[in-house]
Structure formats: structure tokens, C-alpha cells
């Protein structure tokens, strides 16, 4: 059984702490200065001193609060006495394990570790699924003090004996609530059983649900609770507004918002994979530099799109909720909800991509009359009203959007009619694959179809049960030939 204490925030009139006040290693302070950060965020100010002391932590913080640095910096500080410049992999065992629910988040935590440890001899590596396991094996073979991983891929490496976790002294469960939602609890339990019993545990979550508290009681030792934001609250630095419009005017609205304001690095959220891909293609046709990221894309394609977005090469990144919690890009000016999420909590996570770490941002929602109920659910959750506005979209953009929608509906209608003709002719997709393939390739057969025997359309009728073998079948009046010999196993008789 564990006990928890609540961390107390400093008084409002107290001077703001600096990173140097935490006693962090000088090489880490140098890396922090190079990133341009001067003042720690509230979660950093409360978590870093506690982690440096070696205490277990249960932290709840909304996205964009600097949570990642709140645990990577003190972890690196605690590992510095063990750092060495030896080339031997044996001198660089895994001492800190950071588990994340998604590939994107794992990669971003790894980038944070690399950024802050680049002045030190500490090594780090990241392993996640969806990519070739070979380079990950090589990175593990070289040795690393900090390992960032998704649970499934880590267990793959454990089974292949690519990694040894017997010297892990610090375990981090990042976005633990999402790991539970994704069904990772059995994997987490398997991994934790591989670790030394004496270790420091850090658990970070968006909220302190009953499930998270149960997880904390199971794997943390007298954790300090740190909560810096009210549950489901949106940052005060984010300006929110919602525009009601027909569904086929939404794309024109996105083009107008991006072009009229000269926006860059805008994240647009769609609810479906096919809608995400289609919107990105249509925006490209309208002259907006756009890419999409969703679960059906390969990991390589997703990482390529993310890198282009981070580098400022894209005006718009269209994403499903697969990127809602994992995407970490500084300076995103605006988030657009092209589709309102079905789950109101996803709205909080989506708009948390902007207004990060005290910066200002804007969250725009486009909704149809049918979607207004989702907006009401969101307002109930965040306990504030999202202002409604009027957006004057140029008529030519709307007309172009209507033409695209009409073309798409016409194409779908033609496909439906063609499919109907095939069904009436008795040539379904499943039963006529060969001919469909020939038509697609431009091949047309002039051979007339042969008539089909009516036997093949009759319903199945079971045959009458056969007579017992020992009772001879009655002879047919018309039979005159010698009796056919039948094997004994099939009911024939033995020769005398």
C-alpha cells in the first residue's frame, strides 16, 4: 500500500525559480540555455526537485505544459555520476526506461533526451514498432543509459535477447492513461516484472482517474502527487472560436483561413483516415502545402510528414487523433477542428497542440448544424462557452468546393450504377474477379458466354441414405453384365 502527498505550489508573490535553482548538472544547464528556455513551467518547477531527490512521482498535467522536460532533465541529472566515455557497450547499460503509448510520442521523448544530453557522454536509444527492427538492434548493441520504448516493441527485443533490463533504476510511464486505454496493462506488467524491485518510479497522466491511482498504488512507492491544471481544462493562452457552416464549405473555409492570414504550421484534425487523406489532397489542389498523417500510413511516411511540418515546409498538417497527444511542435499558431471529435476530451487534447508552454494560440472549430451537439458536449466538459463567429469565405472558393463535392458524388453515383448493372447481370465482384481484372487492364473478351446448366441453380437436396452393405441391392431388370467386384472395406464380400 502506498501513501501519496500533494505537492504545494510556491506562493504567487515568490520569485520565479530558474533551472539553476534546482542544482542541475552544469552540462544540462548549458543544453537548456541553448534551447532558449529560461524559466521552468509549473510542472517542471514542482516535479524536477522531487525527482532529483529520488522520490516517486504521480504527475497530472495538461498537454503543452513542458511535462517531458519535467522528467527527462532530472533523470539525466541523476545519471550523470554514472556517465563515462568508454566505448564498451557493457559500460552503458540501460539505467532509465521510459515507456510511451505511441510511436510518435516515443520519438519526441527521445528527441528531448538527445537535446538535453548532447553535452554529456550519456547514450540514449528509442525502439518502437512499424519500422525495421534491425537498426534498433544495433543501437541496443552499442549500449544506452536511457531507453525510450513502446511496450510491444520492447517485449520483442526482450524475447530476442537484444536488451537487458536488470540494471534499470528509473522507470517512467508517460501518458499512462492512454496506455491503459490502449490495453497495454498486460505488457506493462510483464515489463515491470523484468525490472529490479528497488527503483524510482515516475507516472505521468492527463488525469488522476481511479484506474491511474490503482496503477500508482501497485507500482509506485509513496509517490508525491503533482497536479498543475484542473481536469479537462483548456489553457488560458488559447483563443477559441467556432464557425457554423455547411459541410461542403469547410474545405473552402480552411483554405481561406490559411491564405488570408498567412498561416504556416497549422494542424487540422479530421475524424476519419479517408477524410484526412482526401482533405490533404484537396488542399494541395487549392494551392495549400499540405500533408496527412493517420494510422494507415507507414511509419516512414508519418515521420517524413512530421519532419516536413516541423521544418516549416508545410502550411497544413491534416491529422487524425493518432497524433493528437504525440505531436510536439513548438510555435504552432493555430489548430482547426475540421470535424468536431465524438469524444469531448479529445477536443482538449487536440487544441493543446497550440498555446504550449505559455505561448499564445488559436483553436478554430468548424461545425455543421448536425455537429452542434458535439460542441455543446465540449462546452459542458471544459465548463466554458466557445464563442460563435461568422466567417466570410469568398464565393469562388465555396463554388470550387461545391464543384469538387458534386464531382465526387457523381463519381460515386456512376460507380454505384455500374455495380448495380453487374449485380443484375449476375456478375458480382466476388464471382467475376477475373473479368473485372480484365476490364481494368483494358482487355475485352469477344467470346460469347456459354449457357449454364440449370443444375447449378437448383437448391441442394441430400441424397437418400444408402442401403446397409449386408443387404444386397435389388437387381435391375435391365442389367445383364457380370457383377462388379467391390472392395471389402467399401462393403464388398470376401471370396470363398
pLDDT digits (tens, 9 = 90+) for 349-361: 888 888 876 678 9
- Which phi and psi (to 5°) does residue 373 adopt? -65, -30
pLDDT above 90 (res 222) = yes
What are the pLDDT digits (tens) for 433-484?
333 333 333 333 344 444 444 544 445 455 454 444 444 455 545 445 555 5
Specify the pLDDT at position 144. Answer: 97
Q: At what angle do helices 42-52 and 67-79 cross, to 10 degrees?
A: 20
pLDDT given at position 493: 54
Phi-psi domain of 182 (left: phi exceeds 0; alpha: psi -120 through 50; beta: other): alpha
User: What is residue 449's predicted lDDT score, i.e. its pLDDT?
Assistant: 46
Q: In the predicted model, is pLDDT for residue 158 greater than 70?
A: yes
Q: Using pLDDT thresholds of 50, 70 and 90, give the confidence band for residue 62.
A: low
Q: How far apart are CA 139 and CA 160, in angstroms?
A: 14
Domains of the chain, first to last? 5-227 (3.40.50.300), 238-402 (3.40.50.300)
Average pLDDT, stretch 409-426? 47
- Cβ neighbours of residue 49 under 8 Å, at least 6 residues apart? 22
C-alpha torsion angle, residues 317, 323, 328, 329 (rounded to 10)? 0
* Percent share of the chain, pLDDT over 70: 75
Beta bridge partners of 126: 148
Contacts of residues 303-310 at CB distance under 8 Å and 24 or more positions apart, as own/partner, are: 303/107, 306/104, 309/265
The DSSP symbol for 446 reads -
CA distance 220 to 229: 22
Phi-psi group of 383: left, alpha or beta (phi > 0 → left; psi -120 to 50 → alpha; rest → beta): left
Three-state DSSP at 126 gives strand
pLDDT of 430 higher than 50? no
Beta bridge partners of 388: 242
Reply yes or no on whether the pLDDT at 248 is more than 90: no
How far from the centroid of its chain's Cα atoms is residue 453's Cα? 54
Per-residue model confidence as pLDDT tens digits over 279-297: 999 999 999 999 999 878 8
Q: If you average pLDDT over residues 367-381, what whole number do you get? A: 93
Residue 323: how many other CB atoms lie within 10 Å: 26
DSSP 3-state of 455: helix
What are the residues whose beta carbons fall under 8 Å from the beta carbon of 82, sequence distance 6 or more? 95, 145
Q: What DSSP string runs through 368-402?
A: -GGGHHHHHHHHHHHTSPPPEE-----HHHHHHHH
Look at the alpha carbons of 84, 87, 92, 97 in this order and tell me if their dihedral is positive or negative. Answer: positive
Q: What's the pLDDT score for residue 229?
A: 58
Cα diameter, the chain? 118
Task: Tell me the mean pLDDT in the region 89-95.
Answer: 95
Instruction: Using alpha carbons, select from 175, 236, 232 the residue that is nearest to residue 363.
Output: 236
Amino acid at each position: 500500500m502506498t501513501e501519496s502527498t500533494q505537492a504545494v505550489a510556491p506562493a504567487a508573490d515568490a520569485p520565479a525559480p530558474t533551472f539553476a535553482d534546482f542544482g542541475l548538472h552544469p552540462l544540462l544547464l548549458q543544453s537548456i540555455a541553448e534551447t532558449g528556455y529560461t524559466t521552468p513551467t509549473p510542472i517542471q518547477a514542482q516535479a524536477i526537485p522531487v525527482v532529483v531527490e529520488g522520490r516517486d512521482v504521480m504527475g497530472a498535467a495538461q498537454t503543452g505544459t513542458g511535462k517531458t522536460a519535467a522528467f527527462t532533465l532530472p533523470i539525466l541529472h541523476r545519471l550523470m555520476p554514472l556517465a563515462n566515455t568508454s566505448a564498451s557497450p557493457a559500460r552503458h547499460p540501460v539505467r532509465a526506461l521510459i515507456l510511451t503509448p505511441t510511436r510518435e510520442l516515443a520519438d519526441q521523448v527521445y528527441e528531448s533526451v538527445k537535446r538535453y544530453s548532447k553535452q554529456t557522454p550519456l547514450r540514449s536509444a528509442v525502439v518502437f514498432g512499424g519500422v525495421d527492427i534491425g537498426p534498433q538492434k544495433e543501437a541496443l548493441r552499442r549500449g544506452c543509459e536511457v531507453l525510450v520504448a513502446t511496450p510491444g516493441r520492447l517485449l520483442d527485443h526482450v524475447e530476442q535477447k537484444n536488451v537487458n533490463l536488470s540494471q534499470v533504476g528509473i522507470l517512467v510511464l508517460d501518458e499512462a492513461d492512454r496506455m491503459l486505454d490502449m490495453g497495454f496493462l498486460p505488457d506493462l506488467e510483464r515489463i515491470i516484472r523484468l525490472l529490479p524491485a528497488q527503483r524510482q518510479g515516475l507516472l505521468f497522466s492527463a488525469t488522476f482517474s481511479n484506474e491511474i491511482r490503482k496503477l500508482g498504488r501497485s507500482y509506485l512507492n509513496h509517490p508525491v502527487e503533482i497536479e498543475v491544471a484542473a481536469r479537462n481544462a483548456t489553457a488560458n493562452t488559447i483563443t477559441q472560436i467556432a464557425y457554423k457552416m455547411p459541410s461542403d464549405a469547410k474545405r473552402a473555409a480552411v483554405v481561406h483561413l490559411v491564405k488570408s492570414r498567412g498561416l504556416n504550421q497549422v494542424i487540422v484534425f479530421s475524424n476519419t483516415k479517408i477524410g484526412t487523406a482526401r482533405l490533404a489532397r484537396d488542399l494541395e489542389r487549392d494551392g495549400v502545402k499540405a500533408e496527412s498523417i493517420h494510422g494507415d500510413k507507414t511509419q516512414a511516411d508519418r515521420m517524413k510528414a512530421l519532419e516536413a511540418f516541423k521544418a516549416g515546409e508545410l502550411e497544413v498538417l491534416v491529422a487524425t487523433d493518432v497524433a493528437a497527444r504525440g505531436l510536439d511542435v513548438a510555435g504552432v499558431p493555430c489548430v482547426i477542428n475540421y470535424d468536431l471529435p465524438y469524444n469531448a476530451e479529445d477536443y482538449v487534447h487536440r487544441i493543446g497542440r497550440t498555446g504550449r508552454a505559455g505561448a499564445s494560440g488559436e483553436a478554430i472549430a468548424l461545425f455543421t448544424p448536425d455537429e452542434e451537439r458535439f460542441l455543446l458536449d465540449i462546452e459542458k466538459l471544459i465548463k466554458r462557452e466557445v464563442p460563435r463567429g461568422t466567417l466570410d469565405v469568398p464565393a469562388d472558393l465555396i463554388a470550387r468546393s461545391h464543384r469538387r463535392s458534386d464531382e465526387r458524388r457523381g463519381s460515386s453515383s456512376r460507380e454505384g450504377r455500374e455495380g448495380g448493372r453487374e449485380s443484375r447481370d449476375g456478375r458480382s465482384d466476388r464471382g467475376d474477379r477475373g473479368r473485372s481484372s480484365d476490364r481494368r487492364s483494358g482487355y475485352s473478351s469477344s467470346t460469347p458466354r456459354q449457357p449454364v446448366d440449370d443444375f447449378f441453380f437448383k437448391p441442394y437436396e441430400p441424397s437418400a441414405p444408402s442401403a446397409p452393405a449386408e443387404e444386397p441391392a435389388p437387381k435391375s431388370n435391365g442389367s445383364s453384365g457380370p457383377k462388379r467386384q467391390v472392395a471389402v472395406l467399401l462393403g464388398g464380400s470376401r471370396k470363398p
